[in-house]
Each structure stands twice: as structure tokens, then as C-alpha cells.
Structure 1
């Protein structure tokens, strides 16, 4: 039996709707389309920091939206008061409906109830657009490496991030797209390698606190738990700086020093789980 699947992504008055027949579309195709949408949002809002979460205030990465088939995901931008996304499943004024097949995607754009445009993309064109975005990040990273003093000299006034209506505040830094300290680490993320995801566990902050030495160094950033023991000597700011945060929730510390960097892309290979009972 063919069952239609639907995923909604919301940011302000924009709604991106993915529709596909569950048994007919491969998961990596869905990942490409979601990545394509997220990249478009990042470019329009001129940011590299986004947070993705559901109505229960659970945070997700791009691949987890597809893997867990989250029906409603709300996108916010840390420290941007002008970007407000309410966690409500209401129809937005600007809607993009992506009707997905394995080889092509039909995009229908709506303004209110009126269809304003219909475009068909071949999947290969979407993949090329996603790769172009990654290549652009490589160029940005190369510039940061060449002129680190200039980049680090920028002052970042830390403000309280935008809040959902009647919900806890969004995290202090985002999840996508990807940056890292070494150009060799920049690579296209694939859903085909799902073994690590299945190994991720849930930890309390007390359990994380037990791993506070150079022989067993865990750190929490944006509710994700990383075992950074093997990363200590790779940290560009030196081992002493990252040691300040081990055994703790170091989100605020990270934000003070690297607000433009995506920690999860940098550390995703070291992730061991998620933080629970986190207030």
C-alpha cells in the first residue's frame, strides 16, 4: 500500500512541505531535498547558524528530521530578534511544496491560496547545488585560516536568543550548515552510514561530569554529548582552552569564543549521545 509521507519545515511566515510516497523514495534523496531547502534558508537569511526543533522542544539535525520523519520542524536563528518562528502547525503565507520522486522533484510555490510558480528539478541538479554550497564553505574557511587574527578580532555581543511563544529559549548556537577547523574535515554528510546514530545514548549532566579528565574528556554543546578525548590535541585554541569545558555543558563557553563555527559538524564523529533532563 502506498502511503503519502509529509514533513513540514517552518521559519517565520514560510513553510516548506515535503511530500512523497513512503515506499518509493530513498532516504538519501529526502536528505538531499531537506539540505537543499535548509541551504536556501541560510542564504536568504545570510546566516550559517540555524536551530531545528519540534513542538516538544527536542532539537534535531537535518538527517534526524528525515530519519525520525518529524512532521513539524521549527527553524530559528540564534541571537536574531527579527526572525520569529512560532511553534504552531498553522498554514504559512508563503508555502513551497516539494513533490519528491527518486529522480526528480516538483516544486510548487504558493502565496496564500494562489499558486505562483511550478518548477521541476532533476535530483542531480539539487545534488550539484548542495555540493556548490559545501564548496563555498570551503572557500570561506580557507579565508578564515589565512587571516585568523582578523576574524578573531571581531567582537560578538552575546544577546538572549529569540524565544518561541510560551516555550523555552532556543539554544545559543545552531546546527547547520557545516564548518570545521581543517579543510580535510569538510565533507558531504551521508545518511547511508547510520551505524553511529544507532549507538548514540542519553546521558544526564551528572554522568557527563564524571568524564572531566584528559584521559576521558566529555563535553556538551547544544544538548549533544561528545567524547573529545582524542580531539584535545587538535583544538586550534590549544588543549587548555577546551579543557575548561570538559565534564560540563559548554554551550555558552563555545558561543563566547566561536559564535560563527558549527560545533556539531566539527565534532560529529565524536558524538556519543544526547543530554537529557537538561534545564
Structure 2
């Protein structure tokens, strides 16, 4: 069975979304819940989840609080879900972004991004794949970013984590091809969040979280491996990314007006 052929619906089981407290994750939980999915929503803060449940349709959103860097807790959440329902869809969306220039590089900040963006996904992938492979069906989706296509200014660590996730999903797609489990990688462009509000440059094709969630939910309902948006921005980045290294770096610096020593406005 091809990983691209099986499209899951609410009739196949429930959904699990991490990073559900805000931004893309929160908006996607609401979109899925309003499309008749029962959604287990994971975030660190119980208060954020309570507010999310109150905003969604009655009975469709179930809180499953936890930190994705806690592997035992992620395994326990999946065990709690699969004891009651088949796990049809898992969207591993939790991630953090802290802009960090070379002259401000901080290992502790970098470590938090590596742990959340990479180890967090791995901690969730383990129990999800065990459950889905055992049941012979399911859809695993991972939120990466167009920032993972090639390196971007102010984002050495963030781009690094997202590039790793893209390769991670590509490799898993090869492994899962005959196991009945579908995998998708989600590569958004710029989305209005608390994190991106700190960017010191213009963000082209900026989208709201709900616009992003609309495209994610639509993409999850179609065949294919990558869900990326806005399409024009993804195409531009992919095209520029074909340039040799020296030319690519020069073009990105020019189009962003990048000066690595500039300071952000207070």
C-alpha cells in the first residue's frame, strides 16, 4: 500500500494534535473539531486547553496536557487514546522559534529549540508509529517549515531543525510505504504568531493561523506527501534554493536587506 493513498476520516478514529495552545496548532484543532473529528489536544498549559475546549464544539476536543520533551508523558497520552479509540491522525505540531543572530548565539537557547523541535517530534513519533503500524492504518503529519528548504537569516538553529524534520519525514515515507501508514510533512510560510512578531524584517505572504489551519486540514484530506503554503512563496524559495551556495546567500541577503550586525528596534 502506498503512503499516499490512504486518506483518514473521522470514521476511522480520532486525531491527536500537539502544540495546541496557540498559533497553527490551536487553529487546526478547532478546524478539525468543526469538521467532525474528535481531537485530543496536547499543550503544556491546562488553562490554555480549557479555553480551547470551551471555544470548540461540545465534546469534540479532549485535553491531554503534556510537554513533548517528556517522552514518557507522550507515550502515556497515546496509550490513553488508543485504549479507547483507533488513532487515525496525529499532527505533531509543537515547536518553538527564537530568532538568534550569529553575534547573539546562545547555546542554551539553541538547545531548547533542538529539544522541542526535534526530540519532541521523536518522542511523539515513537508511540504513534507503534500504534498505527499495529493497527495497519493511520496518518502521521509533522509540521516543519519552508525555513527548512535552505538556511534563512536569523534562523540558523530553527532552519536546521526544520531541515532535519523534512529529511526525517522523507526517510519515514520510504520505510512506511508498505505498512499502511501515511505520512505528510507540512511546510508553512510566515504565519502571524507571537514568535514571528519578533522578526526584524518584512514577512512576505504573511498568513493568519486560521488561514494556515484551513490549508492544513484541506491538505490532510488529499493525497500527497507535502502540504506547503502559500504556494507562490514556496515556489519562490524552492527556485532560489536551486542557486549555488554563494549566489543563494547573496540573493537572500539582498532581498531581505540583511545586515547581520543590525540591531532590532526596541
User: Normalising to structure 1: TM-score of the pair?
Assistant: 0.25
Q: Which has the larger radius of gyration?
A: 1
